[in-house]
Amino acid sequence: MRQWNTRKALREERIAAGANFATGKLVQPETLVDFLEAVLRPGDRVCLEGDNQKQADVLAKGLAAMDPARIHDLHMVQSGVVLPEHLDVFDSGIAKRLDFSYSGPQSARIAKMLFGGKIELGAIHTYLELFARYFVDLTPQVALIAAVSADRQGNLYTGPNTEDTPTVVEATSFGSGLVIAQVGSIVDTLPRVDIPGDQVHFVFDAGKPFYVEPLFTRDPAAMTETQILTAMLAIKGLYQPYGVRRLNHGIGFNTAAIELLLPTYGEKLGLKGKICTHWALNPHPTLIPAIEAGWVEQVHCFGSEVGMEDYLAARPDIFFTGPDGSLRSNRAFSQTAGLYACDMFIGSTLQIDLAGHSSTITANRIAGFGGAPNMGSDARGRRHPSAPWLQAGAEADPDTAAPLRRGRKLVVQIGETFGEGNAPLFVEKLGALELAEKLDLDLAPIMVYADDTTHIVTEEGIANLLLCRTADEREQAIRGVAGFTEIGRGRDKAMVERLRERKIIQRPEDLGIDPLDANRNMLAARSIKDLMLASGGLYRPPSRFRNW
């Protein structure tokens, strides 16, 4: 006779074993490693937060300190491989298999370990895709999460950096898994309840806040004239003609420059209220001047950003906040917003090939995908129309009858033709292809596919791939904005001129922009201190950004 509650029964066993090291739900201090060894089983599927920003760092250290003879061959499923401990567990044999999304800070080490056979790779996902699988075939048996504080009943306050936690807990707890939370303190009354206590089984008081880094702060002092030029091109050549109001910016200096040009260059073009009103975006400090100048109606955030907490709490008309006043972020919903409720994604990449595929993977670094492929893709499940979406769709496919012609999300790659270390942005063969060959992968890890990409913006101009009708046109359109890279110098000059006549390529001069006009004086803020002043002192920049 089949048993139908085996998972619940196993969870009860884990809880009983863990109770030896806990008082109620609170794990006793100094017993973390023993506790983890008691509640885990070899081969468990474990989700460790591992978010883009916040890290359950104390739980990660505890996990890495376990005895691999007792607990081994774990299957880790996590958004972010960020801390050294996230990979230490593979080195020691505590973990064996990995499904993840983003590995930016560990991109070199994870590449070495994957090539060296130390990690059995399930797959690299986007954030939303991994979350989706938490509910289908990658449901965690144990989740190690990070929260700001808890009460004795296990209710959790996750605060501004709520990020992935509700999604992880939903899948784990209701899938009969065990939820263990690391918190900075235990309190009598929480500011608000983000995760109800009956979804949480154990709480560990780490005695200090969880680890979190400022990932979305870009210092305006580092912005170059070239980045400002690309930003001007984007605003005048894309935002204006398509009338983009709902959008997501991938993080980077080019997009940060766009944010800082809205109150100045955007104002000069008369675009306030017509573009950039609704955002799926982390709280970029560089958006402060635009918000203060009245450009922005609403922003939903994937996570928070160190130093922005007071500013966000003071702008509840713009940001999503709880009854306690602080930000509530939610990565899963922001990702969904980026997919279905935004008309444009614009971001940066490391390599673009002649078809228009782009990737951040190079020979020795595997950074994963994060959220970019969701943001940077055309959601074919979308049904509601909007002007930019319909306009792009018409450019891509002028022949189909309008009522049967879906729109297209604008998916824009922006960057300088030569990137960090003077490495060219444009290449013949992507490092991602070489990686696929090396690791014998079914799919090359492409960040944004060619058929999703609608435009490429460099300091040389804008390439509109929607208007290209052949692979040849596409290739020359890309070469035509590839500047002095080898790819750019290999262009068919005559064909590029013809593409320019058809406005498939637009140079700065075609848009009335002289590259010499790009000037740091155009930035609404030229330093981190300027951003702080623009926020009325509410933005408290982390120490690393201070020069006062």
Partner 1 sequence: MEILHFDIAAPIPAAGTRAMALVGVVASGNLEVLVVRGDAPDRCAIEISTAAHGFRDLWDAVVADFVGRRAAGGLRIAINDGGARPDTVSLRLAQGVRMIEEPEA
Partner 2 sequence: MSNIRQSWYEAGARERIAALVDAGSFAEFVGPEQRETSPHLGIFDLPAQFDDGVVVGGATLDGTPVLVAAQEGRFMGGAFGEVHGAKLTGLLRAAKALGRDVVIAFDTGGVRLQEANAGEIAIAEIMRGLVEARMAGVRVVGLIGGRAGCYGGGGLIAGCCSTLIVSEQGRISVTGPEVIETNMGVEEFDSRDRALVWRTMGGKHRTLIGGADVFVDDDAAAFRGAARAALAGSARPLSDRSASPHPFALSEVEGLGPIDDASTSLSTNERGGRPGLDLDTLAVEQARLERRIARFGDAADATDIWRTLGIDDPKAIPDMPSTAFATLAAQYRESADDAR
Binders of partner 1 among residues 505 to 544 (CB under 8 A) are: 515-516
209/419 with CB nearer partner 1: 419
CB burial of residue 318 (10 Å; 0-12, 13-18, 19+): middle
Q: Tell me the helix, strand and coil percentages in the chain, rounded to 5.
A: 35, 20, 45
Among partner 1, partner 2, none, the one that 152 touches (CB under a kind-dependent 5 to 8 A) is none
Three-state secondary-structure class, residue 206? coil
By CB under 8 A, name the one of 28, 224, 264, 527 that touches partner 1: 224
Cα-based distances in Å from 338 to 235, 300, 405: 19, 10, 22
Binding track, positions 359-398, relative to partner 1; x by CB under 8 A = ----------------------------------------
Element (H, E) at 300: strand 298-300
Q: How far is the CB of 461 from partner 1 (least distance, A)?
A: 12
The residues, ordered by sequence, that sit 6+ positions from 331 with a Cβ below 8 Å of its Cβ are: 51, 52, 79, 127, 131, 163, 164, 167, 302, 303, 371
* Binding segment toward partner 1, per CB under 8 A, in 224-232, 263-271, 306-314, 525-533: 224-232
Given CA atoms 416, 422, 425, 431 in this order, what sign does their dihedral have?
negative
**To which H or E segment does residue 23 belong?**
strand 22-23
Selected from 176, 264, 277, 336, the binder of partner 2 by CB under 8 A is 264
**Residue 126 carries which DSSP code?**
B
3-state secondary structure of 536: coil
321 contacts 328 by C-beta, under 8 angstroms? yes
Q: What are phi and psi of 519, to 5 degrees?
A: -140, 140
Residues 410-449 that bind partner 1 (CB under 8 A): 416-418, 422
| Residues linked to residue 247 through DSSP beta bridges, in sequence order | 279, 344
Residue among 221 and 355 whose Cβ is closer to partner 2:
221
- Beta-carbon contacts of 435 under 8 Å, excluding residues fewer than 6 positions away, are 361, 363, 366, 441, 444, 445
Q: Does 289 bind partner 2 (CB under 8 A)?
A: yes
In terms of CB distance, is 308 or 525 closer to partner 2? 525
Question: What's the closest the beta carbon of residue 314 comes to partner 2, in angstroms?
Answer: 16
Query: Does residue number 547 form part of the binding site for partner 2 (CB under 8 A)?
Result: yes
For residue 91, state whether it binds partner 2 (rule: CB under 8 A).
Answer: no
Letters for 514-533 (x = contact with partner 2 by CB under 8 A, - = none) are: ------xxxxxxxx--x---
Among residues 8, 489, 502, 544, the one that binds partner 1 under rule CB under 8 A = 489
Pick the closer one to partner 1 by CB: 190 or 482: 482
Min dist. Cβ of residue 83 to partner 2 (A): 19
Report CA torsion sign: 126, 130, 133, 137: positive
Query: Which segment (89-97, 159-167, 376-384, 536-544) binds partner 2 by CB under 8 A?
Result: 536-544
β-bridge partners, 100: 78, 124
Site for partner 2, rule CB under 8 A: 221, 264, 289, 520-527, 530, 534, 537, 543-548
Q: Which residues bind to partner 1, rule: CB under 8 A?
A: 224-226, 416-418, 422, 459-460, 483-484, 489, 515-516
